[in-house]
Amino acid sequence: MSAAASSSRGERGLLAACVFAVAAPLLVLSVLVVGVVVQAAPHLDLEFLLSGPSRFADRAGIYPAALGSLALIALTAALAVPVGVGAAIYLQEYAGRGRWARLVETNIATLAGVPSVLYGLVGLEVFVRAVGLGRSLASGALTLAMLALPIVIIAAREALRAVPHELREAGLALGATRWQMVWQVVLPVAAPGILTGIILATSRALGEAAPLLVLGAVVFVSDPPTGWSSPFTALPLQVFQWASRPQEAFAQAAAAGIVVLMVTLLMLNAAAIVLRDRARRRGA
Amino acid sequence: MSRSAPLVLALAAALSACPTRQPKPLVQIDGSSTVYPIAEAVAEEYQRAHPGARVTVAVSGTGGGLNRLCAGEVDVATASRPIEASERKACAARGVDYVELPVAYDGLVVAVHPSNTWANSITVAELRALWAPEAQERVLRWSDIRTGWPDQRLSLFGPGVGSGTYDYFTQAVVGRTRSSRSDFAASEDDNALVSGVAGDPNALGFFGYVYFESNRARLKALAVDDGDARNGVGAVAPSRESIREGRYQPLARPLFIYVSRASAERPEVGALVDFWLIQGAALAAELGEVPLPEVVSVRVADRFARRVTGSAFARPGAQVGLSVEALAEALR
Amino acid sequence: MIALRPRIERLVEAGLGASAGLSIAATALLVVTMALEVTRFFAEVTPAQVLFDTVWAPLFAAPRYGIWPLLLGTVVTTLLAVAVALPLGLLSAVFLAELASPRTRRWLKPTLEVLAGVPTIAYGFFALTIVTPALQRVLPDLPGLNTLSPGLVMGVMITPLFGSIAEDALVAVPNALREASLALGANRLRTLALVVLPAARPGLRAALALAASRAMGETMIVAIAAGPSATMTAYIAQVGLGDVPAETTAFRTLFVVGAVLFALTLTLNQLARRGR
């Protein structure tokens, strides 16, 4: 066998291996999705979306969990977005390269890599016990906000960085103060990118169950939360609870809950991708 | 010029400001995983009968629930054993009075996988040898429990240490509360125990009768022989009858709720507990718990009506082997 | 009116700076909380008990605090995950960076990213209800709650993360190196194996460290499919579900385990940052 022939065989082998490597996870994902959807199908109907949990699996519904998740991420966003975007603006527009700025940046990179379950520990100790908020919506939102904060900061920072320098200089040359320049020139241009970051952080908060588990999940909650101090449940928590019950019918309910969760996340991520594309085209 | 960012911020703020309607009265229940199915059923049916009522049920374990009751965090604590001395002290120290109310009778089932053909019964002595602290890393195979049983790996499952079921089992079988080996798969969640035993042919686990009843097809229960002819000769299999008649010993016990006296003053809490005491029997029966006989439930209802505080089981060891009649006596 | 401007500017800058400061406060909260509880824990328990005991049974009447079983469980699942993600992720990265046409890349890359967007609870459910029974058909002795199933599923979950960073590492290798190799007569396979991959090694190591850190910190998949006390994260989730009374040594084990987890993932993350 000539060297050329054996080497092209090697190349073909590599190609085959690569295609397999790309296809295998996608195949696994398809099995996951199909498996979950098939299991969920008998349970997925309007009644499921509108009713609350029940000891009868066929009556179990996701309504309070869905609204709980909605309230939770809305509060989380309200907490994390202003702080996160503000921090990103500070780092990008005001801080310069000094020691303080570098400390904050290292700090944010560290926070972004912390396993989510540890935020639950902090939330338990600080918000639930020390501050005394108990197992309420407020504790959950504060904990998830801590988790979402580094994501928002990093994404907002990227969006701000992408704003062309000329725009800033033009604004300042026209006599604007720094804040006027940021508010009226930089932010509007960076807005789609920042929004993408907010959506990504929100979708991350939506799917996180681990910190909420550690906070102490209340198992049977049949009403959506009504205020800061309400007990609450969330989509991934309700799914976890159903998945823990051995009856097959509850496995179907859990699968249905996962379908709702995945569809919501898919829509959020699609929105983020559309916005990201629009931002790129605008920048081009 | 895109103004979407400020809009999104405003929207998020508005959404978060939304939930400021007048909060409806809330009753918070927490405690035993064994009592949870009943608590869940009561909460669900109560809300169906009283739309607008809000009830939440958490499962922190008997110990956890009583702890939160004494801390004033919940209104009702469910328990699969009576309140202990240290917990009574904690409540007293915080000035929390409670009303102790038995709500059902329960059996502790020793379960194995359905494909387990060799074990049909087990004696209390064997259970003690199996679960005592000395068994740690020594009793590891089925043949170690009883000669004649196969030389196969033993896979143990049991409730975690916050569980009243665990407390009761160790008290009844090993002789000392919370004294046992620690090399078993522990979970606060009885559902996980059921899944564990049902998923392993070499498994043996214990949990409340309710969980056995609702998973009959996936489990096999062992008959328990306590060596006491007064309860019936030989091994007694767990069933509603054998539990109610007091023959399934020593693994039968009453289940309790502890209602904070201060919370009981709130109409929604009083209404829920009244509902539980009236409807609870039917719901418990539906789930596989043994409802309290008429004579006992009358006394329990009276106890709540008069808001009698304190525990009737102050003596240590007063809890094991409590038959329904003895329970009735204790409540008099 | 005009004199107000500088005041507003300073206020705004202070406000923004405070926001940045809050991020430091978050880290401070994390570190202080863990340090506090860990210190209190070691007032009751000696480090020797944690390091040299082989049994983890903190919640029992005669508690044992040997951390090795938990640590071992975490290491096993992490290694399993990495064993799956390394070949799959590396080959996908090679494909995307070296072999695929730009057209293929445009749809393939986002498709692979979808994998990373699946909520971990879905992966956990998948591990418990589909993967474990399938494995039990091959290994009949496999218990329903085991570490094999979640380990493999975690591998699939971290593959896009590893693949994406590995791809960055490969793309960063200067084209001149490739061209030189090809000019010297090597084919694409040899170029890849002997020139590109070695050049990308620091970046690949960083990718590995990051993927391992992610697998180590993953909670939901192991909590559902591996059972409590199988790994460090599963233990934290289990104890959080129950309610061990606060202020007790048993409760503080949560923070001890959390601190170990934090230290390990921090080390891995730092290794990853160094390589990029």
Q: Provide the pairing of β-strand B121-123 with B223-225.
A: parallel
Q: Which long-range contacts (CB under 8 A, 24 or more apart) does A121-124 make?
A: A121/A214, A121/C33, A121/C34, A121/C236, A121/C240, A121/C254, A121/C255, A121/C258, A122/A146, A122/C29, A122/C30, A122/C33, A122/C34, A123/A211, A123/A214, A123/A215, A124/A214, A124/A215, A124/A216, A124/C240, A124/C254
User: Each residue of A146-171: pLDDT tens digit?
Assistant: 999 999 999 999 889 888 888 888 88
Note the pLDDT of residue B319: 59
Considering the domain architecture, whether residues C99 and C131 belong to the same structural domain is answered as yes
| CATH number assigned to the domain covering B107-244 | 3.40.190.10
* Chain C (147-206) residues lying within 8 Å, Cβ to Cβ, of chain A: 156, 159-160, 187-190, 192
B68: nearest Cα among B58, B59, B80, B77: B77
Same domain, A35 and A54: no
Partners of chain A (3+ Cβ pairs below 8 A): B, C
Q: How far is the C-alpha of C165 from the C-alpha of C89, rounded, in Å?
A: 9
Dihedral, B32, B36, B42, B46 alpha carbons, nearest 10: 90
Instruction: Say yes or no: C228 and C151 in one domain.
Output: yes
pLDDT in tens, C17-56: 899 889 899 999 999 999 999 999 999 888 888 888 888 8
User: pLDDT band for position B128 (50/70/90)?
Assistant: very high
pLDDT given for residue A2 in this prediction: 56
CB contact under 8 A, C114 and A29: yes
| Cis peptide bond N-terminal to B6, omega within 30 | no
Confidence bin at A277 (pLDDT 50/70/90): confident
Q: What is the pLDDT of residue A84?
A: 93
- C126 assigned to some structural domain: yes
My answer on whether A254 and A121 are in the same domain is yes
Q: What is the pLDDT of residue C243?
A: 62
Interface of C with B (CB under 8 A): 55, 57, 59-62, 64, 143-145, 227-229, 238, 241-245, 250
pLDDT at C33: 93
Residue percentage of chain B with pLDDT more than 90 = 25
C115 and C190 housed in the same domain: yes
Please provide the average confidence, as pLDDT, over all residues in chain A: 87
**C55 belongs to a structural domain:** no
Residue C52 lies in a domain: no
pLDDT digits (tens, 9 = 90+) for A182-228: 888 888 888 888 888 898 899 889 988 899 988 876 778 888 888 88
Residue contact C243–B68, C-beta within 8 A: yes
Is C270 a domain residue? yes
Of A231, A227, A138, the C-alpha closest to B20 is A227
Query: How many inter-chain contacts (B to C, CB under 8 Å) are there?
Result: 77
**Count of the separate structural domains present in chain A:** 2
Q: Into how many domains does chain C fold? A: 2
| Same domain, residue pair A130 and A271 | yes
Q: Which residues of C touch B187 (CB under 8 A)?
A: 227-228, 238
Is there a single domain that holds both residue A18 and residue A151?
no
Quick check: is C56 in a domain? no
User: In three state form, how does the secondary structure of B94-131 look?
Assistant: HCCCEEEEEEEEEEEEEEECCCCCCCCEEEHHHHHHHH
- Structure tokens given for C132: 């474990």
Q: Are B162 and C229 an interchain contact pair (Cβ–Cβ within 8 Å)?
A: no
Cβ neighbours of residue A173 closer than 8 Å, sequence gap 6 or more? none
Same domain, A38 and A74: no
A193 and A227 both lie in a single domain: yes
C96 and C178 assigned to the same domain: yes
**C-alpha gyration radius of chain C:** 24
pLDDT of residue C111: 80
**Residues A219, B283: Cα–Cα separation, whole Å:** 19
Quick check: C129 and A35 in contact, CB under 8 A? yes
Domain locations in chain B as residue ranges: 24-105+253-331, 107-244
* CATH number, residue C137: 1.10.3720.10
Tell me which architecture the domain covering B24-105+253-331 has in CATH: 3-Layer(aba) Sandwich (3.40)
All residues of chain A having their beta carbon less than 8 Å from the beta carbon of residue B36 are: 219
Rounded-to-integer distance, Cα C242 and Cα A15, Å: 50
Q: What b/e readout covers B146-170, taking b as 16+ CB neighbours within 10 angstroms? A: eeebeeeebbbbbbbbbbbbbbbbb
Query: Is residue C58 one of the residues assigned to a domain?
Result: no
Nearest to A110 by CA among A80, A156, A149: A149
Residue C38 structural domain: 4-44
Q: Is pLDDT above 60 for B253?
A: yes
Q: Which of A18, A28, A94 sits opposite C92 (nearest CB)?
A: A18
pLDDT of res. B19: 47
Q: What are the Cα distances from residue C162, in Å, to B287, C110, C158?
A: 49, 15, 6
Q: Cβ C99–A273 below 8 Å, yes or no?
A: no
What pLDDT is recorded for position C189?
Answer: 83
Determine, for residues A192 and B191 on separate chains, whether the beta-carbon distance falls below 8 Å: no
For C180-219, what is the HEC assignment? Answer: HHHHCCCCHHHHHHHHHHHHCHHHHHHHHHHHHHHHHHCC
- Which range marks the domain in which residue A188 is found? 48-283
Q: How far apart are alpha carbons C31 and C128 in whole angstroms? A: 34
- CB contacts of C92 in chain A (<8 Å) are 18, 21-22, 25
Instruction: Work out the pLDDT band at C226, boundaries 50, 70, 90.
Output: confident
Domain assignment present for residue C51? The answer is no
Domains B24-105+253-331 and B107-244 agree in fold: yes
CATH of residue A261's domain is 1.10.3720.10
> Do A254 and A191 lie in a common domain?
yes
Q: Looking at the structure, do residues A16 and A81 belong to the same domain, yes or no?
A: no
- Where residue C1 falls among pLDDT bands split at 50, 70, 90? low
C189 inside domain? yes
Average pLDDT of the segment spanning B23-37: 86
Angle in degrees, 0-180, between the axes of helices C102-117 and C148-172, rounded to the nearest 10: 140
Q: Is the pLDDT of residue B118 over 80?
A: yes
Domain match, C122 and C227 both: yes
A105 shares a domain with A32: no
| Minimum Cα–Cα distance from C28: chain A residue | A107
| Antiparallel, parallel or unpaired: β B203-208 and B220-221 | unpaired
Q: Are residues C266 and C184 in the same domain?
A: yes
Query: Has residue A3 got a pLDDT over 60?
Result: no
pLDDT of B34 > 60? The answer is yes
**Which pTM does this prediction carry?**
0.86
pLDDT confidence of residue C89: 93
Whether residue C97 is found in the same domain as residue C205:
yes
What was the ipTM of the complex prediction? 0.88
Residues C73 and C178 in one domain: yes
Which residues on A lie below 8 Å from C8 (Cβ)?
179
